[in-house]
Structure 1
């Protein structure tokens, strides 16, 4: 189902869950300001998603087991 979870550190996740894990579409906001919006599988970034880093960099593309994988586009904040 859908829900929201907040860690004691201040990080948050809002989206779909399955068996108590992030699974499906959702958004994670880390304490460092990084944001990931996309697909999750068993609590890991997996499938298509977009990560916006606190420094302004952006990665849009595929993920596998929490790592950038396959096709994607990385744009640095300074061009």
Structure 2
């Protein structure tokens, strides 16, 4: 009898646990749903606009892939405008984050690579080379009021440089 009462008392917990498992699997399944719909133009070969679950792409297509000049606007407000190749950011482009920070430079198959400028929201600017989305190589780092010339970065870390600070620097890149 005690076992029967014990099982009776635990059964609501078991049912709740099953309900939570069902909800979890439902959420996982929902996250796998991908919305892709060509809303205008030619999204196979030509110029068209595609609606995705994460945003909207407007630009050129080749064999159903983003190819050439295009703009992707994410639902959170981030924007990339520039070159695409085989459905990835590739070539020159500008990525603006919803917080106002901005990257202008080279991409290689979706990754910041090569020369680029990164504008921080506080007015600081990094001008230099990138590798695997990280600051890597020779660079200039411009603070709002001064500049550190000739620095070297390895995997996003400043490692060495001249450390020359100046009140103004005529050759600072424009926004």
TM bracket (short chain): over 0.9
Distance (whole Å) between structure 1 residues aligned to residue 109 and residue 80 of structure 2:
14
1:1-79 matches, cutoff 5 A: 1-79=68-146
Higher normalized helix content (fraction of residues): 2
Gaps of 5+ in 2: 1-67, 147-175
Which structure's relative contact order is higher, taking Cα pairs within 8 Å and 6+ residues apart? 1
Higher-Rg structure is 2
- Cα RMSD, aligned residues only: 0.8
TM normalised by structure 2 equals 0.44
Give, in angstroms, the shift of residue 78 of structure 1: 4.2
TM normalised by structure 1 equals 0.95
Segments of 4+ in structure 1 off by > 3 A? none
Gaps of 5+ in 1: none
Higher normalized strand content (fraction of residues): 1
Could you list the per-position Cα deviations for residues 11-48 of structure 1 after superposition, in whole angstroms to 9, with x for gaps in the alignment? 00100001111110000000111110000011111000
